[in-house]
Amino acid sequence: MDFILPVLYCALILAFKIPLEILAYFTSFFFKNGQLPPTLLQRITTSVIKSAQLCLPVWLLRKIVSFGVFGRIPHEQQKHWVKKLDATNEQDGWEGYLIADNVEYSEIGRDVDMIIIYAHGGGFVFGDALGYLKTFIDWIKAWELGYGANTQILSLEYRLSPDHSFPVARDNFLACYEWLVTEKKISPSKIAFAGDSAGGNLAVVSAIHLVNQSYTDPPAALLLISPCLSGLTTTKSFTDNASYDCINLTWFHRCLDAYIGDSNLLPTCPMISPVLESQLSGLPKVWACAGSYEVMLDDITLFIEKLLQNNVKAELAVEDANVHDYAVLKILSRNGAYDNSIKRMGKFLYGGKINE
């Protein structure tokens, strides 16, 4: 019953904030600043998310996400698409799910054009490997229809903070990749790293680690959705977009502290803030997306600029008037941005492949 007080506190805050958001929405029609204002749905949804981040304990956030509030599908349909991977990887600290069309008869890596290792977001402290299942299915269907591509997604269940601080989550990601390459004999040229928010951070730092250590070839591509690339909150977009985006800054710092834990690293360390990494050459091609309302927009833009300066092929799609994680949470998307991201990722991965 220890959830009652946090829930009541959250409800009390929302009872105050939602009327203010409604008022701000209608007021925006009279005081235009040249920028497309958030929709009423965006305002209310982001307020709910930020209030939950601030008020609810981590264990309760994990429970809410595990119930599938964002992307679960009926059990019978899930059986067609999802297969739990063998738990023989527990000594490496990771588990995962294979998502593929008619997964019961699919073998991981067999006859695939690309297998994507995906790390979910959640500030390193919560999240669920099947939380974006509907989105993953949309990707697989769209890319098969548009390019005749056979895509599999390995959605990673990595260890979470504060129980497991840095570098555990990154090492889980690397262990998963090593398993695909060494045990499943899948060529790195058919593997992409991907993730949203904190998961995007894990995808980047894992790829940088592979390049720096040179013990295994890096993957073919990185797909970064609203990636968290810095532990600092000093950019202009963090100030300008704080009221629009769905990230509470107090919560952001709590998550960062939990992730760093007892590693004694500073937020400026490139392993925590890869936007500060000076040596980016050797990374595979990178596709990233962000909404113009994102607090992380400036960090993402700077990272892409640094990749290009290091002769890494990189693309950035910025969707006007969209917020953090719009590309995986359709409820947060507007003006077709969710569907646009699927098309752009497909072209980035399979642009040279023609569906005959």
DSSP output for 158-201? ---TTTS-TTHHHHHHHHHHHIIIIIS---GGGEEEEEETHHHH
Q: State the DSSP code for 287.
A: E
Element (H, E) at 127: none
**Whole-angstrom distance, CA of residue 315 vs CA of residue 286:** 6
Of the candidates 162, 163, 130, 279, which has an alpha carbon nearest to the alpha carbon of residue 213? Answer: 279
Outline where 190-336 has alpha helix (H).
198-213, 236-240, 249-260, 297-309
Where does 56-109 have alpha helices with state H?
Answer: 58-66, 75-81
Strand, coil or helix: 314: strand
Whole-number Å distance between alpha carbons of 201 and 199:
5
Beta bridge partners of 223: 194, 287
Candidates 106, 161, 197, 226; catalytic one = 197
Give the closest residue to 333 by CA, choosing from 57, 28, 39: 39
Known catalytic residue at 206: no
Lateral strand order in the sheet of 285-291: 82-84, 95-99, 151-157, 114-119, 191-196, 221-225, 285-291, 314-319
Q: How far apart are CA 334 and CA 320, in angstroms?
A: 9
Tokens of 200: 């995007």
What residues are labeled active site? 197
